[in-house]
C-alpha cells in the first residue's frame, strides 16, 4: 500500500513536469485498439455496446492485474501507470493556449483549438461562447483527467487506474446521443457516469473549499441542474469560484442542446481592451 501511495505521488509529479507525450501515448494506443474493435462489433444496439465495453474494459483491468502482480506493487511501475493515465498538465496547457488566443483576438486559432478540449462545434462561436466552452470543459475535465484517476488508483491500484482510463476513453469515443451511438454508446456513458459519481463531487468540494462561500452556495444550488449527473457539480463550483455564469446553448454535430445557467456572476465576456494583446478574458 505504501508503494502504491508513493507511486501515485511520483506519477502526479511526473505528469506536472513532463505532461503527455505528443506521440506514442498509451491512452492513444488504447484508443486505436478500441476503434478497431468497434469496427468488428458495432451494431445499433445496447447489447453490442455492452459487449464492446466489456471486452475493452475487462482487457484493461486484466492487464492492470497482470502488471501489478508481475511487478509486485513496484513504486516505479505505479508511478509510470499514474503518469500514463493522468492528463491534468495537458488540460492546463490547452486552457492556457485558448486563453492566449482569445486575449490576442485570434478567433480562428481559438476555434481550431477547441476540439482539443471538447466535442462542441467550434464554427461560428463568438469570443464569449469560446470562453464559456473552455471554462466548462476545464471544469469537467479537472475531475476526469486528474481527480478521478487518482481516486481510483488509491482504491484499486494499477487495475483501478487502467479501468478508469479505459472507461473514460470509451465514453469520449462513443458516449454520445446521436444517430450512431445513442444505443451502442449507452453502456460506455452509463459506466463512465458511475465511475465519476464520487470523483465529480470530490472535485466540486475541493474547488468550493478554495473558492469561497459563493462557490459552495452555487455548487449546492446549481450542481444538480446539469443533465449530466456529474459535470454539473464541477461546472457549478467553477462558476461560483470565478464569479461567472455558465450554461446556455451548445451545438454537437449540428444538434443544439440548451443547458441551464449556473452561477450568479456576470455573463462570460471577452471585451476589446485591458489584456496584453487588447482583449480581456472576462
Phi-psi region of 274 (alpha: psi -120 to 50; beta: other; left: phi over 0): left
CA–CA distance from 188 to each of 115, 151, 161, 194, 198 (Å)?
A: 21, 20, 17, 10, 17
Q: What's the confidence (pLDDT) of residue 268? A: 52
pLDDT digits 0-9 by tens, 116-151? 898 788 888 889 999 999 999 999 999 999 999 999
Question: Which of 105-109, 165-169, 195-199 is predicted with the least confidence, judged by mean pLDDT?
Answer: 105-109
> What pLDDT, on the 0 to 100 scale, is given for residue 145?
95
Q: What is the pTM of this model?
A: 0.88
Indicate if the pLDDT at residue 273 is higher than 50: no
Residue whose C-alpha cell reads 459506466 in the numeric block: 191
Q: Which residues contact 239 (CB under 8 A, 6 or more apart)?
A: 135, 218, 222, 245, 246, 262, 263, 265
Phi and psi at residue 62, to the nearest 5°? -65, -40
Given a cut of 90, is residue 52 above it in pLDDT? yes
pLDDT at 280: 32
Amino acid at each position: 500500500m505504501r508503494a502504491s501511495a508513493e507511486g501515485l505521488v511520483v506519477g502526479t509529479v511526473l505528469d506536472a513536469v513532463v505532461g503527455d507525450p505528443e506521440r506514442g501515448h498509451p491512452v492513444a494506443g488504447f484508443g486505436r485498439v478500441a476503434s478497431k474493435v468497434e469496427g468488428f462489433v458495432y451494431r445499433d444496439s445496447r447489447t453490442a455496446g455492452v459487449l464492446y465495453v466489456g471486452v475493452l474494459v475487462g482487457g484493461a483491468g486484466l492487464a492492470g492485474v497482470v502488471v501489478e502482480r508481475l511487478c509486485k506493487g513496484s513504486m516505479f511501475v505505479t508511478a509510470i501507470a499514474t503518469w500514463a493515465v493522468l492528463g491534468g498538465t495537458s488540460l492546463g496547457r490547452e486552457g492556457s493556449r485558448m486563453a492566449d488566443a482569445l486575449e490576442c483576438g485570434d478567433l480562428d486559432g481559438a476555434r481550431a483549438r477547441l476540439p482539443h478540449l471538447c466535442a462542441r462545434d467550434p464554427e461560428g462561436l463568438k469570443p464569449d461562447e469560446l470562453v464559456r466552452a473552455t471554462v466548462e470543459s476545464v471544469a469537467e475535465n479537472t475531475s476526469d483527467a486528474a481527480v478521478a484517476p487518482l481516486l481510483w488508483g488509491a482504491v484499486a491500484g494499477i487495475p483501478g487506474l487502467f479501468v478508469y482510463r479505459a472507461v473514460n476513453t470509451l465514453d469520449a469515443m462513443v458516449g454520445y446521443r446521436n444517430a450512431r451511438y445513442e444505443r451502442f454508446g449507452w453502456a460506455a456513458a452509463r459506466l463512465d457516469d458511475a465511475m465519476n459519481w464520487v470523483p465529480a463531487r470530490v472535485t466540486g468540494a475541493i474547488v468550493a473549499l478554495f473558492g469561497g462561500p459563493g462557490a459552495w452556495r452555487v455548487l449546492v444550488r446549481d450542481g444538480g441542474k446539469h443533465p449530466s449527473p456529474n459535470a454539473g457539480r464541477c461546472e457549478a463550483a467553477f462558476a461560483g469560484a470565478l464569479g461567472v455564469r455558465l450554461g446556455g446553448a451548445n451545438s454537437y454535430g449540428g444538434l443544439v442542446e440548451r443547458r441551464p445557467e449556473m452561477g450568479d456572476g456576470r455573463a462570460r465576456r471577452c471585451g476589446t481592451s485591458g489584456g496584453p494583446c487588447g482583449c480581456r478574458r472576462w
